[in-house]
């Protein structure tokens, strides 16, 4: 087996999610993931530090995308509208990813350690969004509260999207979730 | 030393926080905490399972207080107003606790493991609030979003209160934080 494997990273991620779904996260070994992907353990560890990381591979890119869209929103945009632009950007990358997201969500919900990791990622996203808003000149506590509101909308919108039998897009689920947050905070 | 020690629980919590502040959380042992409190390690473990738990002793009671106030808000209250009643209730128990909260916050911020635990507690609070709102007849996603908004206000309000050199009360910091969330989500 050569050192370079086409799409090794994606094949490993796919194999891991399949096995975690079939057998459970705890019951799956890295050796089994590598085997399912037709690769070696050595190759696995060239791409991922551990069993957990393979599930969170996309979260750095997602945070960057979200934060960049907030930073690049028109100067005149209100903080919540800059966050809405970030949610739109995130919505665009999950087209055709609903099945995958649904499975990933099910694996995470079933394991406390994975849930913790997910909470840490969301907390890091909130901090990064608050930073981006402060760089836009938004003062505290507005920056932190808008960032928290954005993460709440993202979290609830994402859950609704994965759970929804209708085929609405993630972008639409995010928009609906934001509209609902606006309605509830307005006392509606 | 007798089996019953007056205020053992409180003395241990006080000693732990002092030592964590002075020497750092990692560098402090249960033996040292017990000694500082004038008690034995055995007594420590009768009250707390580990080094971490002593810092999170109040969070169950806090969640109960918050959730009960939401449940008992007037039937006619909008979801966000029920959550506001919960925030008010929480505000009342932290009178004269600012110094303590400030020290606790500093210990938690310095340690990744403690931050994770704090995130888990906040996530559990959010789930419990959403439950309480659904029992009030609030549908989804409004219940989850209002709960998330309440936790965001609690978190940011709490941080502002501990960091604030002025002596405003926690209840006031919560009210200001909620008003600010309403303003930012309204696009202000």
Residue pLDDT, tens place only, B27-58: 999 999 999 999 999 999 999 999 999 999 88
Distance separating alpha carbons of residues B130 and B78, to the nearest angstrom? 14
Does residue A162 share a domain with residue A72? Answer: yes
Distance separating alpha carbons of residues B76 and B136, to the nearest angstrom? 10
| Interface contact flag, A181 B185, Cβ < 8 Å | yes
Does residue A180 share a domain with residue A115? Answer: yes
Q: What is the DSSP letter of A50?
A: S
| Interface contact flag, A149 B188, Cβ < 8 Å | no
Of B145, B160, B186, nearest to A180 by CB-CB distance is B145
Mutation site, A74, A130, A141, interface B, largest B CB count within 10 A: A141
| CATH code of the domain covering residue B43 | 1.10.10.60
What's the distance, Cα to Cα, between the start and end of chain A in Å? 62
Q: What is the pLDDT of residues A75-133, one digit of tens each?
A: 999 999 999 999 999 998 887 788 888 899 999 999 988 999 999 999 999 999 999 99
Instruction: Check whether A182 has a pLDDT greater than 80.
Output: yes
Q: Is B166 exposed, middle or buried (0-12, 13-18, 19+ CB in 10 A)?
A: exposed
Distance separating alpha carbons of residues A108 and A118, to the nearest angstrom? 8
CA-to-CA dists, residue B11 to A181, B29, B54, B100, angstroms: 43, 16, 11, 13
**Which two structure tokens, joined as six digits, stand for B84?**
């506001």
Distance separating alpha carbons of residues B188 and B181, to the nearest angstrom? 10
Q: What is the pLDDT of residues B54-86, one digit of tens each?
A: 999 888 889 999 999 999 999 999 999 999 999
Determine, yes or no, domain membership for A1.
no
| Interface contact flag, A149 B184, Cβ < 8 Å | yes
Q: Which domain holds residue A22?
A: 8-50
The nearest CA of chain B is from the CA of A166 a distance in Å of 16
Cβ-Cβ contacts under 8 Å, A181 against chain B: 145, 149, 185
Cβ-Cβ contacts under 8 Å, A144 against chain B: 156, 159
Does residue A122 share a domain with residue A82? Answer: yes
Does residue A73 share a domain with residue A32? Answer: no
Distance, CA of A17 to chain centre: 15
Nearest chain A alpha carbon to B123: A119
| Interface contact flag, B144 A123, Cβ < 8 Å | no
**Which two structure tokens, joined as six digits, stand for B135?**
């029992």
Determine, yes or no, domain membership for B1.
no
The nearest CA of chain A is from the CA of B153 a distance in Å of 7
Of B119, B149, B155, nearest to A185 by CB-CB distance is B149
Nearest chain A alpha carbon to B174: A141
* Tally of structural domains, chain A: 2
Instruction: Please state, rounded to an integer, the average pLDDT across all residues of chain A.
Output: 91
Q: Which residues contact B12 (CB under 8 A, 6 or more apart)?
A: B33, B34, B37, B39, B43, B44, B47, B48, B54
The nearest CA of chain A is from the CA of B167 a distance in Å of 17
| ipTM of the prediction | 0.87
- Which SS3 state, helix, strand or coil, does residue A21 take? helix
Q: b/e for A7-43, b at 16 or more Cβ within 10 A?
A: ebbebbbbbbbebbbeeebeebebeebbebbebeeeb
Write down the pLDDT at residue A4: 65
Does residue A165 share a domain with residue A133? Answer: yes
Determine, yes or no, domain membership for B155.
yes
Of A79, A123, A185, nearest to B182 by CB-CB distance is A185
| Interface contact flag, B152 A152, Cβ < 8 Å | yes
Distance separating alpha carbons of residues B1 and A168, to the nearest angstrom? 67
CA-to-CA dists, residue A18 to A111, B15, B122, angstroms: 16, 49, 31
Determine, yes or no, domain membership for B88.
yes
Mutation site, B76, B184, B188, interface A, largest A CB count within 10 A: B184
Cβ-Cβ contacts under 8 Å, A160 against chain B: 140-141
| CATH code of the domain covering residue A147 | 1.10.357.10
Write down the pLDDT at residue B42: 94
Does residue B167 share a domain with residue B105? Answer: yes
Of B148, B160, B177, nearest to A152 by CB-CB distance is B148
**Which two structure tokens, joined as six digits, stand for A125?**
């996203």
Does residue A115 share a domain with residue A26? Answer: no
Positive or negative, the Cα torsion across A64, A68, A71, A74? negative
Does residue B65 share a domain with residue B92? Answer: yes
Q: Are B85 and B94 in contact (CB under 8 A)?
A: no
Does residue B97 share a domain with residue B19? Answer: no
Determine, yes or no, domain membership for B69.
yes
Does residue A153 share a domain with residue A76? Answer: yes
Interface A:B, Cβ pairs < 8 A: 99
Write down the pLDDT at residue A3: 58
Does residue B19 share a domain with residue B104? Answer: no
Does residue A166 share a domain with residue A108? Answer: yes
Write down the pLDDT at residue B1: 47
Phi, psi (deg, nearest 5) at residue B137 = 95, 5
At residue B168 the predicted structure's pLDDT band, cuts being 50, 70 and 90, is confident
Write down the pLDDT at residue B3: 58
Determine, yes or no, domain membership for A2.
no
Identify the residue whose tokens are 């911020």: B109
In the predicted model, what is the mean pLDDT of residues B107-133?
94
Q: Which residues contact B117 (CB under 8 A, 6 or more apart)?
A: B52, B55, B56
The nearest CA of chain A is from the CA of B3 a distance in Å of 36
Distance separating alpha carbons of residues B45 and B54, to the nearest angstrom? 10
């Amino acid at each position: 087996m050569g050192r370079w494997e086409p799409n090794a990273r994606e094949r490993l991620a796919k194999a891991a999610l399949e096995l975690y779904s079939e057998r459970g996260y705890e019951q799956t070994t890295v050796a089994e993931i590598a085997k399912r992907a037709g690769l070696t353990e050595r190759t696995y560890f060239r791409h991922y530090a551990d069993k957990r990381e393979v599930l969170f591979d996309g979260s750095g890119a997602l945070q960057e995308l979200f934060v960049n869209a907030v930073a690049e929103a028109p100067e005149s945009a209100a903080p919540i509208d800059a966050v809405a632009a970030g949610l739109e950007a995130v919505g665009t990358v999950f087209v055709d990813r609903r099945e995958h997201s649904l499975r990933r969500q099910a694996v995470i919900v079933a394991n406390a350690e994975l849930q913790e990791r997910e909470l840490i990622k969301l907390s890091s996203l909130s901090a990064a969004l608050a930073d981006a808003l402060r760089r836009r000149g938004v003062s505290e506590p507005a920056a932190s509260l808008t960032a928290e509101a954005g993460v709440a909308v993202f979290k609830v919108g994402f859950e609704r999207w994965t759970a929804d039998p209708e085929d609405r897009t993630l972008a639409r689920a995010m928009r609906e979730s934001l509209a609902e947050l606006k309605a509830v905070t307005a006392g509606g």
